Structure 1
Amino acid sequence: MNHPRSTGLLFNNLQETQMSFEQVFERIVEFISSDPCGNYRLMIGTDSQVHKSQTTFITGIVIQNVGKGVWACIRKVIVPRKMTQLHERISLELSLTEEIVSLFTEERKNTLINLVLPHIYDGASFTIEGHIDIGAGKRNKTSEFVKEMVTRMESMGVEPKIKPDAFVASSYANRYTK
Structure 2
Amino acid sequence: MSFEQVFSRILKFMRIKPCGNYRLMVGTDSQVHAKCTVFITGVVIQNTGKGAWACIRKVTVPRKMLHLHERISLETSLTEEIVSMFTERKKNDMIEIVLPYLYQGATFSIEGHIDIGSGQRNKTREFVQEMVTRLETMGVEPKIKPNAFVASNYANRYTKKAGG
Normalization by structure 1: what TM-score? Answer: 0.90
Identity of aligned residues (%): 76
Name the count of aligned residue pairs. 160
Pair 1:86 & 2:68 matched: yes
Q: Deviations over 1:86-142 (max 9, x none)?
A: 000000000000000000000000000010000010000000000000000111000
Counterpart secondary structure, 1:176: helix
Is it true that 1:177 corresponds to 2:159 in the alignment?
Answer: yes
Structure ranking higher on relative contact order (CA contacts 8 Å, 6+ apart): 2
Unaligned runs of 5+ in 1: 1-18
Which residue number corresponds to residue 24 of structure 2? 42
Moved over 2 A (4+): none
Give 5+ residue unaligned stretches, structure 2.
none
2:97 maps to 1:120:
no
Q: Alpha-carbon deviation of 1:176? A: 0.3
- Look up the match of 1:52: 34
- Partner SS state of residue 84, structure 1: coil
SS of match in other structure, 1:117: helix
Letter in 2 for 1:165: N
CA distance in 1, matches of 2:48, 2:83: 20
Matched, 1:70 2:39: no
Q: Which of the pair is proportionally richer in helix?
A: 2
What aligned pairs does 1:1-178 form with structure 2 within 5 A after superposition? 19-178=1-160
Instruction: Report the TM-score when normalising by structure 2.
Output: 0.97
Quote the Cα distance in structure 1 between the aligned partners of 2:51 and 2:119. 31
Indicate the SS of the match to 2:49: coil
Q: Structure 2 CA distance, aligned partners of 1:109 and 1:60?
A: 18
